[in-house]
Amino acid sequence: MDLTPDEDQMALQTATNDWCRAHMPLAEARSRPEGLWQQLEMMGWVGMTAPAMDLDHPTEALVFAELGRFLAPVALLSSAVAARWTKFDGKVALALAGTDNIRLFDSHNATHALGLFDANIGSVNIDADCETRRSLDLSTSIAHLQSNPPVETINDPRAALHLQLLVAAFSVGCADAARDMAADYATLRQQFDRPIGWFQSLKHICSDMAVRAAVARSQLYYAACALQAGESDAAFHVTAAKRLADQAALDNGRANIQVHGGIGMTDEASPHLCLKRAHLLQFLAPAESRILLAVSP
Amino acid sequence: MDIGFSPEEMRFREQCRDWLHANIPAEIRPLDAADAIDFDKHWQRQLFDAGWAGINWPTDYGGRGLSIVQQVIWLEEYAKAHAPWIGANFVGINHGGPTLILNASEEQKAFHLPQILKGEAIWCQGFSEPGAGSDLAGIQTRGRIDGDELVINGSKIWTSFAHVADWQELVLRTEDGSRRHAGLSWVICDMHAPGITIRPIRKMSGQTEFAEVFYDDVRIPLNNVVGGLGNGWKVAMSTLSFERGTGFIADQVKQSEEIAELISKARANGMINNDHIADQLAQMRAEVAALRAMTYRNISEVVRTGQPGPEASIIRLFTAELGQRLERMAVLLLGEVILDFAYGDDNAVHDYLRGFASTIAGGTAQIQRDIIGERLLGLPKSR
Ligand SMILES: Cc1cc2nc3c(=O)[nH]c(=O)nc-3n(C[C@H](O)[C@H](O)[C@H](O)COP(=O)(O)OP(=O)(O)OC[C@H]3O[C@@H](n4cnc5c(N)ncnc54)[C@H](O)[C@@H]3O)c2cc1C
């Protein structure tokens, strides 16, 4: 038993973080440059989950949590699952099958989209004339598929768990980002002649953000190991990870805005980017209470 | 990263399980400290004789010298088997002993550690005073140096098991006119020494388990100072790190059993059909799983680096608050049956009332949040 990253994993984590900091700063998530996807492909983030790469789930979770910390494009999630479980490589848009119709995210230059259809991973063709605009999460475009396209599904339940795990990793990163943004601001911003983080009512908001992020990250690691080892309760653990990660991202997203005061709710400051991302992730492979309440997980 | 255990560890787990299965006392541990003391001592002796005391303590002092992972396995199996709480041995085993291992002289260790492991010496913790709770540096109990003795005057409060204890971790002011963290010493105080008066205090859950302790010209040899005169704050902090750091391992398993029981109770009485309750249960099931993950992460960190990561303070706060939410849910599911509670009952209502301690004792939830904000996030110190 060892739930800490080993040296190779830590090196990969640091390298991912360094690259993101330099080339994909969080503040730019309000409008990602056109060429970003090509850069991500060149760096290998897109194809890293292909079977030939033989990357284990714990390592994947670590890397995706770092990518998620910088609000990386959400098509990385669908493309990663596609690379492992379908014949598509390269960019695959993210599909969200809702009650009304199918929403597509990050569909620019993609011919297919992948997402959960009922309980299974499925992929659809993207119409050429599909109209896109900005979504609530400003980093991604959204499009509505008007027709009911045929869905090609993958019947292996591990594929759905794979997506759920990676989304949870993105949420963990998002929760971390909000926590760090809040703590930095609470140290810098002065009122009453002292940093606002001196005031306990603010300090404790930040401490609770740290607790939520640590809880979610721990469960993410456990879930990744359980899925990797093919444990019989892997679905339970991945679901638990997703639920806690979503909550951490949402709650930290909101708390971060409160810590920032007026600037926190402007378009120009970054806190809303984390909250909006959390709202998007919340709908992807959502955690089902039924699985958490099962008699024997 | 992996969540598997080695064949050797799995064999060890089986040994723990087999022994516990065959040896757990049929008798239920009494609630009051005075009634439980014989039970506690006898059970600790039985654990020692079978090699289950001090699993990761050094062999020189009666421990087994095994790994921390094996200690965790033992505690997991212990909780799973519903073995009795170690009760009055809590202070000696969980933080008195570990503090001595880290800070005491060879002589002090050789004398006290084996007695703690064998359940022969009961310890209590004399830190808090009427005027020094969260603000521990406000300690006023004084020890005047007289030849090779300390002459102690003052009082302590909330001292768990004081009225059944033989020894005390006593933190007091040994330097005249010193203030705050300076001039304090950590002393081994003989609870049977003349001049000590103990007034037991009853809790709202019914049992009499802690007490107020008065010192009236109590004489303790200077030799009983641990870690050097005037170094009491540093030694006390190591005690608190053990107190705050290790207790959660057993809680993690206990809580996982509790949530499973709560879910089946809610199913049985139909309350699971209330969406709000179902949602809370699902949430706590996920959180209990995460608590185990966090515990394992922390233990892995100890194995890898020799010390727990900074996130230990997060585990402690999270465990305490999750425990209280579980206890609240348990009484919610009981309904008006909670009104039948009487002192002496050992049930969910008792656990609920007693559980208020987990966000107060050993540093309140507010103080824990300060620690997380300041030490983990680097926010400015408020105190
Ligand atoms: C069951 C139980 C067993 C105990 N056993 C022992 C024992 O064996 N030995 C021992 O030495 N002590 C023991 N204690 C004492 C325990 O450590 C103290 O109760 C605790 O540290 C709080 O101190 P206090 O009770 O004086 O509360 P106070 O410090 O007066 O706190 C009252 C309230 O004010 C809040 N508060 C205080 N300061 C701050 C601040 N700076 N910022 C924000 N909020 C603040 C607290 O969080 C709390 O909500 C025990 C307590 C309990 C409940």
Q: Mutual orientation of helices A57-69 and A75-85 as an angle, nearest 10°?
A: 160
Tell me what pLDDT residue B251 has: 80
Q: Which residues of A touch B304 (CB under 8 A)?
A: 2, 4
Tell me what pLDDT residue A34 has: 87
Give me the CATH number covering residue A234: 1.20.140.10
pLDDT digits (tens, 9 = 90+) for B28-72: 999 999 999 999 999 999 999 999 999 999 999 999 999 999 999
- Specify the higher pLDDT residue, B248 or B69: B69
The answer to the question of residue A12 being in a domain is: no
Is the Cβ atom of B59 under 6 angstroms away from ligand 1?
no
Chain A residues 4-23 within an 8 A CB cutoff of chain B: 4-6, 9
Tell me what pLDDT residue B239 has: 92
Tell me what pLDDT residue A146 has: 79
Is the Cβ atom of B158 under 6 angstroms away from ligand 1?
yes
- When pLDDT is cut at 50, 70 and 90, the band that residue B291 belongs to is very high
Residue A234 lies in domain? 157-292
State yes or no: pLDDT of B22 exceeds 80. yes
Indicate the number of domains in chain A: 1
Cα(B360)–Cα(B356) distance, rounded to whole angstroms? Answer: 7
Using the beta-carbon criterion (under 8 Å), do A228 and B2 form an inter-chain contact? Answer: yes
Is the Cβ atom of B357 under 6 angstroms away from ligand 1?
yes
Count of beta carbons in the 10 Å neighbourhood of residue B74: 26
The answer to the question of residue A188 being in a domain is: yes
Percent of chain B with pLDDT over 90: 90
Mean pLDDT of chain B, nearest integer: 94
Lowest average pLDDT, out of A124-128, B7-11, B90-94, B258-262, goes to A124-128
Is the Cβ atom of B240 under 6 angstroms away from ligand 1?
no
- When pLDDT is cut at 50, 70 and 90, the band that residue B245 belongs to is low
Residues of chain A whose pLDDT is less than 70?
297
Three-state DSSP class for B118?
A: coil
Of B4, B279, B304, the CB nearest to A229: B4
Q: Answer whether B99's CB lies under 8 Å from B169's CB.
A: yes
> Counting one residue from A and one from B, how many pairs have CB atoms under 8 Å apart?
159
> DSSP state, B379?
P
The answer to the question of residue A249 being in a domain is: yes
Tell me what pLDDT residue B243 has: 81
Strands A152-154, A120-125: parallel, antiparallel or unpaired by DSSP?
A: antiparallel
Is the Cβ atom of B161 under 6 angstroms away from ligand 1?
no
Q: Which residues of B touch A243 (CB under 8 A)?
A: 282-283, 286
Tell me what pLDDT residue B71 has: 92
Q: Answer whether A279's CB lies under 8 Å from A136's CB.
A: yes
* Concatenated DSSP letters of A133-202: EE-SSTTSEEEEE-S----EEE--HHHHHHHHHHHHHHHHHHHHHHHHHHHHHHHH-EETTEEGGGSHHH
The answer to the question of residue A199 being in a domain is: yes
State yes or no: pLDDT of B244 exceeds 90. no
Using the beta-carbon criterion (under 8 Å), do B285 and A295 form an inter-chain contact? Answer: no
Of B2, B286, B377, the CB nearest to A1: B2
pLDDT digits (tens, 9 = 90+) for B166-187: 999 999 999 999 999 999 999 9
The answer to the question of residue A134 being in a domain is: no
> DSSP state, B96?
I
The answer to the question of residue A184 being in a domain is: yes
Q: Which atom of ligand 1 is nearest to the CA of B135?
A: 29
Tokens standing for residue B121: 């010496």
pLDDT digits (tens, 9 = 90+) for A140-171: 999 998 778 999 999 999 999 999 999 999 99
Q: Answer whether B97's CB lies under 8 Å from B117's CB.
A: yes
Structural element, H or E, at residue A215 = helix A200-228
Domains observed in chain B: 7-117 (1.10.540.10), 123-231 (2.40.110.10), 248-376 (1.20.140.10)
Residue A193 Cα to ligand 1 middle (Å): 30
Q: Which residues of A touch B3 (CB under 8 A)?
A: 1, 3, 222, 225-226, 229, 231
Cα(B297)–Cα(A137) distance, rounded to whole angstroms? Answer: 33
The answer to the question of residue A190 being in a domain is: yes
Q: What are the phi and psi torsion angles at A112 (to 5°)?
A: -135, 160
A1 touches chain B (CB under 8 A): yes
Structural element, H or E, at residue B237 = helix B232-246
pLDDT digits (tens, 9 = 90+) for B90-137: 999 999 999 999 999 999 999 999 999 999 999 999 999 999 999 999
Using the beta-carbon criterion (under 8 Å), do A292 and B282 form an inter-chain contact? Answer: yes
Output the residue whose Cα is nearest ligand 1's atom 7: B159
State yes or no: pLDDT of B247 exceeds 70. no
The answer to the question of residue A276 being in a domain is: yes
Taking Cα atoms as reference points, which of A244, A261, A248 lies closest to residue A202? A261
Of A200, A214, A226, the CB nearest to B370: A200
State yes or no: pLDDT of B203 exceeds 90. yes
Tell me what pLDDT residue B246 has: 61
